[in-house]
Amino acid sequence: MPHSAEDIRASYPVPVFNFIVDIDGDVIPFKSVSGLNVNYPKIIYRDGMRGLFIMPGLYEPPEITFTKGVFSGQCRLYEWLNTVNFNEVDKKDVLVSLTDTSGERLILSWTLVNAFPTGINAPDLNADSNEVATISMTLACDRVMANCLN
């Protein structure tokens, strides 16, 4: 039985290629985002009476990687990285939102609270290559908050 476009939109999983990155109100196009993980390592406690206790440990802040193409005149990420000094940093909230295939409806979002750049990897330059120049920026943050929006 054929499925209508609306049936597919409502019941099929969402592809990963439509997403929006908003850094402190500034929407920046990225090729990929990875590391949006929330982890609490478990603590296991056993006593001599065969008691077993498993509880969440301390939050492990993730390192999130953003990759984008290099465009002439677009240096905002390098400008942000250049504000980092020892024990001084311009922290910003970053919102990563997964959208439906139209790009209009937000499905799921992750808020990186008080994020700051920890590094940028410059593109590999090679005269024999035919690839687009990309940079990868890593961010640290105080917390990742996941929000289901539908």
**Do the Cβ atoms of 70 and 78 come closer than 8 Å?**
no
pTM: 0.83
Q: Is 53 exposed, middle or buried (0-12, 13-18, 19+ CB in 10 A)?
A: exposed
**Do the Cβ atoms of 104 and 98 come closer than 8 Å?**
no
Residue 129's pLDDT is what? 92
For domain 5-148, give its CATH number from 3.30.200.20, 3.40.50.10540, 3.40.50.2300, 2.30.110.20.
2.30.110.20
**Do the Cβ atoms of 145 and 96 come closer than 8 Å?**
no
Dump pLDDT digits (tens) for 24-80.
Answer: 999 999 999 999 998 999 999 998 888 899 999 998 989 999 999 999 888 888 889
At 5, give phi and psi (nearest 5°): -60, -35
DSSP code at position 39: B
The ranges assigned to domains in the chain are 5-148
Residue 96: how many other CB atoms lie within 10 Å: 21
Q: Looking at the predicted structure, is the pLDDT value of residue 7 above 80?
A: no
Q: Looking at the predicted structure, is the pLDDT value of residue 1 above 80?
A: no
Residue 48's identity, in one-letter code, is G
CA distances (Å), 8 to each of 4, 13, 128, in order?
6, 9, 44
